[in-house]
Structure 1
Amino acid sequence: MPVMNRRIIFKTVLAAVLASTIALPAAALDRRVTIVNDTNYTIMQFYGSNKGTDSWEEDILGRDVLRPGQSVRIDFDDGTGYCKFDFKAIFDDDDVLVARGINVCKIGTYTYN
């Protein structure tokens, strides 16, 4: 085999190996985020919806609440492959805070303060 062909094959194989080890599939990314309530109010409801939906879905806290100083670890992996989520927190004083475009694949903690 000519030297030029071997170089082309080597470069092709090397590129394939690098691509498979460097580029993580979206499904393999960690979407767990710790939500911290660093306010003086209780979070009564919390929603996290991926950027591909127009709905807030269900209250992630369910029957629980997130009191001042408490935190909860939430896995936002909903099977869609999305990394960007919108968060909505409803507090006991009826304040509603919405945060848009949070990249749950890149952050480990989100704090309300």
Structure 2
Amino acid sequence: MRMKGLIMGVLLACTSPLLMAADYYVDVTNRTGYTIFYLYVSPGSAKTWEEDVLGSDVIMNGDTTRVTLTGYTNPYFDIQAVDEDGDSYTFWNVNVAEQDLVITLDHLD
């Protein structure tokens, strides 16, 4: 009976969402002609934006930055970039496991 309880505990631990979390990344390329000052990335199911993932960094025009997303259980994210003029570029439901992001003026909100 004790062994059955141990096996059940291990099975429950293995199916825990925390243990099923993964690390994702997305390469973001800036082709807007402007410097991107802020980059907000939130899970696709979130109701609000999370903190700016760039911190004190920026993405200069023509540069690519890799953003690592740690501890999530789903590869779908909403991503918003804000440039030096305060213009925003929003991408909804991006599957970062399958695609990277190239931001151009065509994506201006």
Give the TM-score normalised by structure 2.
0.71
User: Do residues 105 (structure 1) and 94 (structure 2) align?
Assistant: no
Amino acid at match of 1:84: Y
Give the TM-score normalised by structure 1.
0.69
Partner of 1:76: helix, strand, or coil? strand
What is the alpha-carbon distance in structure 2 between the residues aligned to residue 51 and residue 67 of structure 1?
26
Structure with higher strand content: 2
Q: How much does 1:55 deviate?
A: 1.9
Unpaired runs of 5+ in structure 1?
1-25
User: RMSD in angstroms over aligned alpha carbons?
Assistant: 1.8
Amino acid at match of 1:73: R
What is the alpha-carbon distance in structure 2 between the residues aligned to residue 38 and residue 80 of structure 1?
28
Q: How much does 1:67 deviate?
A: 0.8
Matches within 5 A, 1:27-106: 27=21, 31-77=24-70, 79-106=71-98
Unpaired runs of 5+ in structure 2?
1-19, 105-109
Q: How much does 1:38 deviate?
A: 1.2
Q: Percent identity of the aligned residues?
A: 34
Amino acid at match of 2:92: R
Q: Please list every run of at least 4 consecutive aligned residues from structure 1 whose deviation after the TM superposition is greater than 3 angstroms.
A: none
Partner of 1:97: helix, strand, or coil? strand
Q: In terms of Rg, which structure is larger?
A: 1
What is the alpha-carbon distance in structure 1 between the residues aligned to residue 66 and residue 72 of structure 2?
19
